[in-house]
Structure 1
Amino acid sequence: MTLSLILLCCWVLLAALSMVVMPGRKSWYAAYGLIALGAPLVVFVTVQNGVFWGLIALAVMGVILRWPVIYLTRWCKRQLRGKEQP
């Protein structure tokens, strides 16, 4: 197992631990930190293991951090739709 995949496993454990420890609204601070750690980690996994494993890492992070992904999707839909609808 490569270093990047080991770090990805550590990221998953850190995410699980932080969501258990951080209650309610404070979990968003943990999510911001996990995003900041996860973005370069996806690049590292992709460089070291290939695009397939990079997409797997991105999918794992998207499943764990589902609410930021949902909010980003909603925001993108609003931007594409325009401001004609409230």
Structure 2
Amino acid sequence: MSTSIVLACLWGVIANIIAMTPSKDHHWRNAYILIAVGIPILGLITAEHGPWIGLLVFAAACSVLRWPVIYLGRWMRRSLAGAKGPVE
């Protein structure tokens, strides 16, 4: 098994352990750290194993970090709706 896959599995185990611990800020600080560590791992996986495996790992990471992804989608939807403006 390649090093990048082992790192991704380790990231997933750590993310699940963090999710089981109590947190006062609803794990947002931990989510930022997991995102910062996960992006290079995802890039390494995509470089070594191709885009399909990278997409699969990305989907798995999005399922673990679902609330940051939901808030990002809401923010993008609001910003796109505000950019269109009223039709004259």
TM-score by length of 2: 0.89
Identical pairs, percent: 38
Report how many residues are paired. 85
TM-score by length of 1: 0.91
**Structure 2 counterpart of 1:53:** 53
Per the TM alignment, residue 5 of structure 1 is displaced from its structure 2 partner at its CA by: 0.5
Per the TM alignment, residue 33 of structure 1 is displaced from its structure 2 partner at its CA by: 0.4
Map 1:24-63; keep pairs closer than 5 Å.
Answer: 24-63=24-63
CA RMSD across the alignment? 1.6
Higher helix share: 1
Unaligned runs of 5+ in 1: none
TM superposition outliers: structure 1 runs of 4+ over 2 Å: none
Give the number of the structure whose alpha-carbon radius of gyration is greater. Answer: 2
Map 1:1-16; keep pairs closer than 5 Å.
Answer: 1-16=1-16
> 2 CA distance for matches of 1:24 and 1:47?
37
